[in-house]
Amino acid sequence: MLLLDTIDRKAVDQTPVWIMRQAGHYLPEYRSIREKHDFLSICRTPELATEVTLQPIRRYQFDAAILFSDMLVLPEAMGLQLEYNDDLGPQVTPAIRRETDIKNLQTEGLGEKLRYVSQAVNMIRASLSKDIALIGFSGSPFTLASYMIEGRASKNFRMVKRVLYRKPEMLHQLLEVMTTAVVQFLRLQIQAGVQVVQLFDSWAGLLPPHLYDEFSASYQGKVISQLADTGVPVILYGRGPMHIIESLKSYKPAVLGVDWQADMVKARTIAGSKIVLQGNLDPACLYASAETIRKEVGRLLKIFKGQGGHIFNLGQGILPDVNPDMVHVLVDEVREQSMRGDD
């Protein structure tokens, strides 16, 4: 598999490419399914999750499929209520605000409660070509804890910040619980057939640089350590500036995902030669002309010329109103330019 060979730093003839949120609203075939089924029903129905996961593979032949699900199905399996509104986003209730709330979280029987996830992985893997990798994922312990404390996405996450500064010991307690749960969740996916897993630290930017390692990076390091026996590579992706790369690289992930706001040249220097980098095209670049997309693809590939160790991706998830034809331009350019040695 091209993706796995790249992660293993084997010689490859082109740069692998996949896109975060590659299954989603920008695809007319996905919108067709959403006309009949709500988001969480798709996540919870293995046949539908399989179909949606495979849609971008059929259209673009990406080098990896990523399981279609939601990171918040894990807190739901731990006893919280999860609702999803297209306008307001996910809502988790009751919010975790006290130590007693943490004690009420259920960490037993997660495999059975999340059986629909492992069933979807089984179905997807059985349907995928052998040369296309399947990626599983989870939110990072800190990002999951942030949703659980705040109850929903927020502009300033003031409840999370209150706990961070007023009750740091409570936050650490919740992070320990979520680390254990994340490891179980990823093991479930690995046992079902995923070959790579990615941790999304979507709210990494909430933490000031001097607290990022203590409250987020170190817990992701624990996940890597506790999954080491599986032999499955872990991708760490933190949304935000350069200090996130500096913190995460010390835990020696197989791959570091680079946010579009970070400098890929500096990230390459910071990460060193042993860690593969993933990313980091600005998602809004897909609004541009084909000529501009080609230029931006070439700019990124040039950074890794003669070095390898790069998985092409966006620096965040694809935007829902992107023209699907522009994704074709992106994928074709990555393959053509990297195959003929431009990278």
DSSP alpha helices (H): ranges in 64-167?
Answer: 73-77, 99-103, 110-113, 115-127, 141-150, 158-166
The pLDDT, as a whole number, for residue 154 is 79
In a domain, 162, yes or no: yes
* 3-state class (DSSP) for residue 187: helix
Residue 107 covered by a domain: yes
**Is the Cβ–Cβ distance between 138 and 200 less than 8 Å?**
yes
Q: For residue 154, what is the enclosing H or E element? A: none
Residue type, 50: T
**CB under 8 Å, gap of 24 or more: what pairs does 224-233 form?**
224/251, 224/252, 224/253, 226/179, 226/183, 227/183, 227/186, 227/187, 227/190, 227/197, 230/187, 230/190, 232/190, 232/194, 232/195, 232/196, 232/197, 233/4, 233/7, 233/196, 233/197
Q: Decide: helix, strand or coil at residue 239.
A: coil
Q: What is the pLDDT of residue 343?
A: 42
Residue 99 sits in a domain whose CATH number is: 3.20.20.210
Q: What is the pLDDT of residue 52?
A: 98
What pLDDT sits at residue 36? 97
Domain that holds residue 85: 2-280+305-316
Beta bridge partners of 312: 17, 279
Whether residue 298 lies inside any domain: the answer is no
The answer to the question of residue 123 being in a domain is yes
Q: How far is CA 1 from the centre of its chain?
A: 20
Q: Is the pTM of this model over 0.75?
A: yes
The pLDDT score that the predictor gives to residue 86 is: 74
Number of domains present in the structure of the chain: 1
Residue 259 lies in a domain: yes
Residue 343 belongs to some domain of the structure: no
Which residues of the chain, if any, have pLDDT below 50? 343
Q: Is 291 within the bounds of a domain?
A: no
Does residue 333 lie in a domain region?
no
Token look-up 């609004």 returns 287
